[in-house]
Amino acid sequence: MSIIVQKFGGTSVATAQKILAAARRAVATKRAGHQVVMVVSARGHKTDELVDLAAEITDAPPPREMDMLLSTGEQESVALVAMAIQTLGEKAVSLTGGQIGILTDTSYTKARIRNISTDRMRRCLDDGAIVVAAGFQGVDDDLNITTLGRGGSDTTATALAAVLRAAECEIYTDVEGVFTTDPRLVKDARKVPRIAYDEMLEMASLGAGVMHSRSIEFAKKFSVPLRVRPAYSDGTGTLIAPEGEEDQRVVSGLALAKNEARVSLSGIPDRPGTMAIVFSKMGARKIPIDMVVQNVAEGGTAEVSFTVPQSDLAETLTAAEEAVKELGAGVVDSGTAVSKLSAVGVGMRSHSGVAAHMFQSLADSGVNIQMITTSEIKISTLISRDQCEDALKVVHAAFKLDRPTNEPPTVGVRQKAGNGDAPSQGRLLHEVVSKLAAMEDIVVSEVLLDESQARITISDIPDEPGISATIFSAIAEGDVMVDMIIQNQSHSGRARVSFTVDRTDLERCLLLVREVVSQWPSAQLTYDGDIATLSVVGIGLRTHTGVGERMFKALSEASINIQLINTSEMRMSAVIARPEGHKAHAALLKAFGLK
């Protein structure tokens, strides 16, 4: 008999009526011939209320007690849901995370799942009962209650679906499915019928609140078919699944992370090992850093900037000060009131001009881009927070995301060469996953060496709206495909942008760039045809803070200097000097235990 996992979010079990409706849905599924496991969140705003209550007692609640407290919200829900099912005439058993045997590590408030035993759930299912599991919680080796991080019930659901080999995992929530962007912020956002795992993983980790990003890691790792559906109607929702032919759009969706902060370390030594120290200090505190921009060094010192959620800023600054101390030089500064606006889509792998189109639409509405980073399927920009919601609407319209799908793309089409991607990953992934010691362990399936690219850097350009748009529009019009883009402001108020192109396009691209740059007398153009890009490929790489640490430590031990860095959930890349490519490749294969 096939197993269906059904997860109900807080809004969907907020009242007795909604609890009964959720119960009826599970009962109907059971009567249609399936075994049913429900995963339930705390009712309505229960978790927020408990957080507020703790804050009234202390500014620094001990994490262990916080987990003890927050886990009660889910315990209340499962009991009520099980009662509801029983009144409808079916058997039901409510179980806490500990009763199921969801074993986690001891990182209170952000615990990771190690193992789940299926015995008790299977016994209940075979006995004809619907299992009602508490989301968001587990226990550590000493039976201390742990929680998985806010929004973590999604992760409980996909993890249970994975270990039970469920036919489908259904996520019932308060919207019709996954939209092109948050429908609360953009009224004409549209529901997408299907989205690829990689796209959803990026969207979720870049701020789309609809799914916990770790739940998508589970879904991809263990091939769980996942569907986000409305709890209040019979809508078919959105299927989250492997990449398919039907994914027509170049950009599938936009994510906004409103409350971000920027942290910069300047005047730090430009030598191998610098990034390793920075990443290890952040990794030690489990701070996921994003939008890492390391400027090509000037006068023997380097500068690195990155973003973190504003709630992690205080800890990040402490960690950055530690890094500067260990490096022996440098100054830390930060910027708040910024937001990260990202565009995501697997179509970016094969289309040129996507970035230029996004930058142009921001320029047209007077939005200055403070930082840019891109990866193979996403473009992230850091902009001022007071403009972020308007910017989201503008970019949404610019990519025609408010129109029905399957319209032709708004940007040029050209196959990008030499960027070997997703398809070959399936088998490798399966091999790595089958050897995992713990379910949420880091998954790194490959280390790739790409020697086909060249780097161009333009420094001392004005820091004002429209500059990036001008540069990248000119390049796109010249039909040159840009790969990695990295931009930030320097302390002198000038901006610097670096990007990579195929080496065979270098001369042509330089001609295009020289012409544009000539309008800014202060601007300086440099390039390097002799670079190599190393990419560590896997799942959840940015959110598992240990990956950057391991990668940069290995490069540092091999005495390799890093020119540019680029991170996404699927890939972490570093640009280095080409003659060191093979040595670096070997060092990384060894560091990640790959052949």
The H helix count followed by the E strand count for the chain is 17, 26
How many residues belong to the site for ligand ASP (CB under 6 A)?
12
- Figure out which of the listed residues 12, 153, 352, 490 binds ligand ASP, where binding follows CB under 6 A: 153
Among the listed ranges 3-11, 156-164, 466-474, 525-533, the one in contact with Mg ion (CB under 5 A) is 3-11
Among the listed ranges 41-49, 367-375, 435-443, 497-505, the one in contact with ligand ASP (CB under 6 A) is 41-49
Task: Name which of ligand ADP, Mg ion, ligand ASP, none residue 179 binds, using a CB cut-off of 5 to 8 Å depending on partner kind.
Answer: ligand ADP
Q: Is 77 exposed, middle or buried (0-12, 13-18, 19+ CB in 10 A)?
A: buried
Task: Name which of ligand ADP, ligand ASP, Mg ion, none residue 184 binds, using a CB cut-off of 5 to 8 Å depending on partner kind.
Answer: ligand ADP
Q: Which CB atom, from 153 or from 294, has the smaller least distance to ligand ASP? A: 153
**Across-strand partners of 531?**
577
Does 73 interact with ligand ASP (rule: CB under 6 A)? yes
Question: Which amino acid is located at 280 in the chain?
Answer: S
Q: Which CB atom, from 9 or from 548, has the smaller least distance to ligand ADP? A: 9
Please work out, in degrees rounded to the nearest 5, the angle formed at the alpha carbon of residue 88 by the alpha carbons of 86 and 92.
Answer: 30
Helix (H) or strand (E) holding 470: helix 467-477
Among the listed ranges 9-17, 95-103, 388-396, 486-494, the one in contact with ligand ADP (CB under 6 A) is 9-17
Interface with ligand ADP in residues 475-534 (CB under 6 A): none
Does 473 interact with ligand ADP (rule: CB under 6 A)? no
Please work out, in degrees rounded to the nearest 5, the angle formed at the alpha carbon of residue 208 by the alpha carbons of 304 and 406.
Answer: 110
Rounded to whole angstroms, how far apart are CA atoms 525 and 456?
7
Interface with ligand ASP in residues 112-141 (CB under 6 A): 135-136
Contacts of 58 (CB under 8 A, 6+ apart): none
Among the listed ranges 7-15, 23-31, 89-97, 180-188, the one in contact with Mg ion (CB under 5 A) is 7-15
Interface with ligand ADP in residues 243-272 (CB under 6 A): 253
Q: Is 514 exposed, middle or buried (0-12, 13-18, 19+ CB in 10 A)?
A: exposed
Rounded to whole angstroms, how far apart are CA atoms 412 and 111?
44
Interface with ligand ADP in residues 175-214 (CB under 6 A): 175, 178-179, 181-184, 208-210
Smallest distance from the beta carbon of 441 to ligand ADP, in angstroms?
A: 25
Does 345 interact with ligand ADP (rule: CB under 6 A)? no
- Name the one residue in this structure whose structure tokens are 């929530």: 173
Smallest distance from the beta carbon of 178 to ligand ADP, in angstroms?
A: 5
For 121-154, b/e burial (b = at least 16 CB within 10 A) is beebbeeebbbbbbbbbbbbeeebbbbbbebbbb
Strand ranges (E), 41-112: 92-95, 102-104
Task: Name which of ligand ASP, Mg ion, ligand ADP, none residue 150 binds, using a CB cut-off of 5 to 8 Å depending on partner kind.
Answer: ligand ASP
Q: Which CB atom, from 211 or from 513, has the smaller least distance to Mg ion? A: 211
Task: Name which of ligand ASP, Mg ion, ligand ADP, none residue 272 binds, using a CB cut-off of 5 to 8 Å depending on partner kind.
Answer: none
CA distances to 182, 398, 568 from 320, in Å: 33, 38, 21
Does 215 interact with ligand ASP (rule: CB under 6 A)? no
Smallest distance from the beta carbon of 174 to ligand ADP, in angstroms?
A: 5
Contacts of 98 (CB under 8 A, 6+ apart): 137, 138, 139, 143, 145
Rounded to whole angstroms, how far apart are CA atoms 339 and 245?
33
Does 10 interact with ligand ADP (rule: CB under 6 A)? yes
Residue 551 main-chain phi, psi, to 5 deg: -65, -50
Among the listed ranges 29-37, 145-153, 442-450, 555-563, the one in contact with ligand ASP (CB under 6 A) is 145-153
Does 151 interact with ligand ASP (rule: CB under 6 A)? yes
Smallest distance from the beta carbon of 148 to ligand ADP, in angstroms?
A: 13
Q: Which CB atom, from 179 or from 359, has the smaller least distance to ligand ADP? A: 179
Task: Name which of ligand ADP, Mg ion, ligand ASP, none residue 47 binds, using a CB cut-off of 5 to 8 Å depending on partner kind.
Answer: ligand ASP
- Figure out which of the listed residues 75, 94, 173, 468 binds ligand ADP, where binding follows CB under 6 A: 173
Q: Is 481 exposed, middle or buried (0-12, 13-18, 19+ CB in 10 A)?
A: buried
Rounded to whole angstroms, how far apart are CA atoms 40 and 77?
7
How many residues belong to the site for ligand ADP (CB under 6 A)?
19
Does 42 interact with ligand ASP (rule: CB under 6 A)? yes
Give the x-and-dash track for 210-229 against ligand ADP (CB under 6 A). Answer: x-------------------
Residues in the chain: 595
Smallest distance from the beta carbon of 72 to ligand ASP, in angstroms?
A: 10
Does 10 interact with ligand ASP (rule: CB under 6 A)? yes
Does 151 interact with Mg ion (rule: CB under 5 A)? yes
Q: Are 496 and 460 in contact (CB under 8 A)?
A: yes
CA distances to 116, 137, 444 from 439, in Å: 8, 15, 13
Rounded to whole angstroms, how far apart are CA atoms 183 and 191?
9
Positions in the binding site for ligand ADP (CB under 6 A): 9-12, 41, 151, 173-175, 178-179, 181-184, 208-210, 253
Positions in the binding site for ligand ASP (CB under 6 A): 9-10, 41-42, 47, 73, 135-136, 150-153
Positions in the binding site for Mg ion (CB under 5 A): 9, 151
